[in-house]
Structures are given as structure tokens and as C-alpha cells.
Amino acid sequence: MADGEIRKGLAGVVVDTTAISKVNPETNSLLYRGYPVQQLAERCSFEQVAWLLWHGELPAPEELAAFEARERAGRALDPRVRAVVDAAGRTAHPMDVVRTAVSLLSALDADAHDSSPAAELAKAERLLAAIPAVVAYDQRRRRDLEPVEPRDDLDWSRNFLWMTFGEEPTATAADVFRISMVLYAEHSFNASTFTARVVTSTLSDLGSAVVAAIGALKGPLHGGANEAVMIAFDEIGDPGKAEAWLDDALAAKRKIMGFGHRVYKHGDSRVPTMEAAMRRLVQEHGADALVELYDRLAAAMDVAKGIKPNLDYPSGPAYRLLGFDTEQFTPLFVAARVVGWTAHVMEQRAANALIRPLSAYVGPEEREVPVGG
Ligand code: SDX
């Protein structure tokens, strides 16, 4: 790339190195610290994957036990956070609620402005533990339900479902949710992660970087797509109308949510794993119409545009079957991606350079202000 060449959206531009994950469109693969994400999704708890992304290695048994104990001790909904969630009312979007709650959690941190590696790791662990309670309570309050106290006999993903629904998940539900969280945890320099790195590059704090990343993730071109997938499904309604709906949408130049990707151009490496998990839920719920719509729309999009689904496409139906409200889907993405964001904050800080690109000026040439203004 020549100096001064404009690459809108930074498409194809390598801006830094990372050791956290490798997204490889040629092999359609994703590695977290060298491990294929499909194997991690199959064999590891979310806590093990979080530790791997932060530390670079899977935890030893004693490391995992100590981490799990710290995480379980930090799950309860802070009354001050509950008050802020309540203050947001029910018209506020759940992404605005979780962004505001994380902002308060960070402001309340005793070591908010301590950016040492140990302090940032502790903050990352605390956010991982605290965000599920916010998302769970936000859904419950909109249904006039009281918050559910966390259980320290359940792992992170099962407790998340427990606090949301007030009942223990089935084995399939727990496994599918865990798989989705592992797949959502990290994806190199995506827009929200790069946002977190830009904020960190000014030597701002981890909390500010995560709040900024939540703002970036909210957009429907990025994390907001999983919510938008189900809004489209609800708009289509009858599976038999999928093809006609798509024709109209494409004719109107609409982006079809859940399809396409800036890096993967032959399909998102995570989709087969998430789709298989989603189909297990479909079987458990007998959701034949939902999966028929899912299959027909994907087939029609392949024929019409040759564009494949991304992770948000199978995640939407899975979260619907798990019982989450549609507007809570992207906050679920936040709960998982906070691990990737904080891993990148720590990596950026360890070898920092202020991120400040150039722009090519196309405004008016220099001119004189008229006398008298
Ligand atoms: C995530 O970066 C990451 O890793 C993100 C993520 C992560 O884990 O962090 O993977 C998560 O954000 C996945 C993406 C979720 N977003 C969506 O599902 C929204 C719908 N997708 C599109 O907006 C689009 O595919 C993007 C934004 C994801 C990628 O777009 P690009 O690479 O900028 O490509 P583009 O928009 O320039 O599209 C190229 C062509 C265009 O046609 P022309 O204008 O040249 O004729 O393909 C078309 C686009 O219109 N196209 C689509 C489309 N995606 C691309 N047309 C209709 N529907 C789509 N979904």
C-alpha cells in the first residue's frame, strides 16, 4: 500500500500485530492463542477460554479453581448498578443499559485509574463476573420480575441462564449457550475491539475502552446484527415468504442482517459450530418453522448474492429458543466479547503507540475571512 493511499474502512489494512487470535480467511479458520475455536467450543468451559485469551495458556487446575472462586464471588448485582438500570426505564435499549451499567461499574472501581497488568486483569475478571447479572436483571425487570440471586454451584454460563430465567437450563440449553459465548469471545481487530485499542492507545483506562467498545458493538453492521436477524425473521413470519421477502429487501438495497463479513469472504469459520448447536435446540423445541425459515433465507441469499451467513445468523435463532428477548441478544455478545476486548486492552498497553491515522483534505482551499466576519 503506497503512503497516502486511502483505504476506506481500513479494509485490508494491517495496523498492528496481535498474539491473541488469528482469523484466516484463506483456510476459513479462527485460532485463540493457537487453539482452533471449534475445539475450544467443544472441550472447554467459558472460564477456561477467558483465562486462555487473557494469559496466553489454558489454566492449570489450581489456576482455574482460584479464578472460578473469584468470578463466583463477583456475580451479585450491585444495588447501585440496579438503581441505574432501573433509572434507565424500559424505553432505553438494553445496549444503552449495559453500556451505562459498565460505565458505573468502572467508575466505582477502587483501582479505576491503575493500569498495571495486575489491576487490569482484576478489572477484566470483575466485568466478566458482573455483566451477566446486569443483562439478566434488565430482561427480568422488563417482564416485571425481581432479580434472581446468583448461584456459586453453577459455572459462568449456567449461572447466566439461571439468573435470567430463574430455573436451571437443560443440558442442551447450557451447552449451546456456552458454545455461543466461546465463539463470540474474540475475533482479532473487529470494529469494537479496535475501538477499545484506540481508546487504550491514548493511555485512557480499561473501563473507558470497554464502554467505547460497547458503543461500537451496538451498530447493526457489527454486533447489533444478531438482534436484527430475528427482527427480519419476525418480519418474514411464514417460512414460505422468505424468498419474496429477500427479493424485496435486495431490491430496496437493504443489507441482510447476519450475512457477509469484512474478512471472511467464503463463510464465517464459526458458523458450522454455532449452526450445529442451534439445530440441537431446534430439535429440543420442535421449532420446525423457525429452522425452515433459517434454511430458506440462507439458500435464497446464496443464490441471489453468493453471500454466506456470519456468526450472528445462527446465534439469533438460538437465543430466541433459549428464551432471551430479541433486544437482549447484543448484550449477550457484550458479556462474551468483554474477554476479547480486555485481552486487547492489555496487549495494546504492553506495546503501545498512539493510534492516530491521517486524512486527505478535500475541503475548500485556503481563503480569507471577509473583514467584519
Ligand atoms: C460481526 O469484523 C468482525 O470480525 C465482526 C464480527 C466479530 O466477531 O467481531 O465477526 C461480528 O460484526 C459480523 C457481521 C455482522 N453484520 C451483519 O450481519 C450486517 C450485514 N452485513 C453487511 O453489512 C456486510 O457484510 C459487512 C458490514 C459485515 C461487511 O461488509 P464489507 O466488507 O464492508 O462489504 P461491503 O458492505 O462493501 O459489501 C460488498 C458488497 C456490496 O455490494 P455493492 O454495494 O458493491 O454492490 O456486498 C454487498 C454490499 O451491498 N453485501 C451485502 C451484504 N453484505 C455485503 N448485501 C446485502 N446484505 C448483506 N449482508
The pLDDT tens digits along the chain (373 residues) read 567 789 999 999 999 999 999 999 999 999 999 999 999 999 999 999 999 999 999 999 999 999 999 999 999 999 999 999 999 999 999 999 999 999 999 999 988 889 999 999 999 999 999 999 999 999 999 999 999 999 999 999 999 999 999 999 999 999 999 999 999 999 999 999 999 999 999 999 999 999 999 999 999 999 999 999 999 999 999 999 999 999 999 999 999 999 999 999 889 999 999 999 999 999 999 999 999 999 999 999 999 999 999 999 999 999 999 999 999 999 999 999 999 999 999 999 999 999 999 999 999 999 999 999 8
Tell me if residue 238 is catalytic.
Answer: no
Q: Of 291, 292, 271, which is closest to residue 282 (Cα–Cα)?
A: 291
Residue 258 alpha carbon, nearest atom of ligand 1: 18
**Contact criterion met (CB below 8 Å) for 226 and 315:** yes
Residue 192 alpha carbon, nearest atom of ligand 1: 9
Tell me if residue 312 is catalytic.
Answer: yes
Distance CA 24, CA 263 (A): 8
Q: What is the ipTM of this complex?
A: 0.97
Residue 155 cell numbers, joined: 459455572
Q: Is 117 exposed, middle or buried (0-12, 13-18, 19+ CB in 10 A)?
A: exposed
Distance CA 200, CA 278 (A): 36
Task: Give the Å distance between the CA of 64 and the centre of ligand 1.
Answer: 38
Q: How far is CA 214 from CA 69, 98, 123, 136, 295, in A?
A: 27, 8, 16, 17, 30
**Which of 218, 226, 262, 273 is the best mutation target for the ligand 1 pocket, counting ligand atoms within 8 Å of the beta carbon and taking the most?**
262
**Catalytic-labelled residue, pool 261, 266, 268, 285:** 261
Task: Give the Å distance between the CA of 280 and the centre of ligand 1.
Answer: 27
**Contact criterion met (CB below 8 Å) for 14 and 341:** no
Task: Give the Å distance between the CA of 311 and the centre of ligand 1.
Answer: 12
Distance CA 278, CA 227 (A): 16
Tell me if residue 113 is catalytic.
Answer: no
- Name the 3-class secondary structure at 22: strand
Task: Give the Å distance between the CA of 126 and the centre of ligand 1.
Answer: 33
Residue at 288: amino acid letter: D
